[in-house]
Amino acid sequence: MIHPLLSPPSGPLQVPSADSASAPLASTVTPSDAGLSAEQSQASPRSLKFSLIIPTYNERGNVAKIVAQLTHLLDGFIPGDYELILVDDDSPDRTWQVAQDLTEDYPQLRVMRRQGERGLSSAVIRGWQVASGEILGVIDADLQHPPEVLLKLLQATLDGADLAVASRHVEGGGVSDWSVVRRFLSRGAQVLGLIVCPAVVGRVSDPMSGYFMVRRKAIAGPHMNPVGYKILLEVIGRGNIGDIAEAGYVFQERESGESKVTWKQYIEYLGHLARLRSRGRVARLAQKLPFKFPTQRFIRYALVGLSGMVVDMLILYLLIDGAGFALTRSKIFAAEVAIINNFFWNDTWTFADMTMRQAGWSSRFKRLLKFNTICLAGLVLNVLLLNVFFNLIFGQNLKYLANLIAISVVAVWNFWINFKLSWRVTVVENSP
Nearest to 138 by CA among 232, 8, 265, 249: 232
pLDDT at 411: 77
Give me the half-sphere count of Cα atoms (radius 13 Å) on the Cβ side of residue 87.
29
Q: What is the pTM of this model?
A: 0.61
Q: How far is CA 416 from CA 292, 293, 298, 374, 431, in A?
A: 12, 9, 9, 10, 21
User: Is residue 83 over pLDDT 80?
Assistant: yes
pLDDT at 229: 54
Residue ranges of domains in the chain: 38-260, 281-429
What value does the mean pLDDT take over residues 31-59? 69
pLDDT at 224: 85
Higher confidence at residue 407 or residue 60?
60
Contacts of 299 (CB under 8 A, 6+ apart): 271, 274, 275, 282
181 pLDDT tier (thresholds 50, 70, 90) = low
What value does the mean pLDDT take over residues 342-362? 83
- Alpha helices by DSSP H, 159-280: 180-196, 198-201, 216-219, 232-238, 263-278
- The domain 38-260: what is its CATH number? 3.90.550.10
Task: Report the alpha-carbon distance of residue 354 to residue 429 in Å, rounded.
Answer: 11
User: Is residue 197 over pLDDT 70?
Assistant: no
What residue type is assigned to position 378 of the chain?
G
42 pLDDT tier (thresholds 50, 70, 90) = very low
pLDDT at 418: 79
Mean pLDDT estimate for the chain: 79
Task: Report the alpha-carbon distance of residue 352 to residue 384 in Å, rounded.
Answer: 32
What value does the mean pLDDT take over residues 140-154? 92
100 pLDDT tier (thresholds 50, 70, 90) = very high
What residue type is assigned to position 255 of the chain?
E
pLDDT at 262: 52
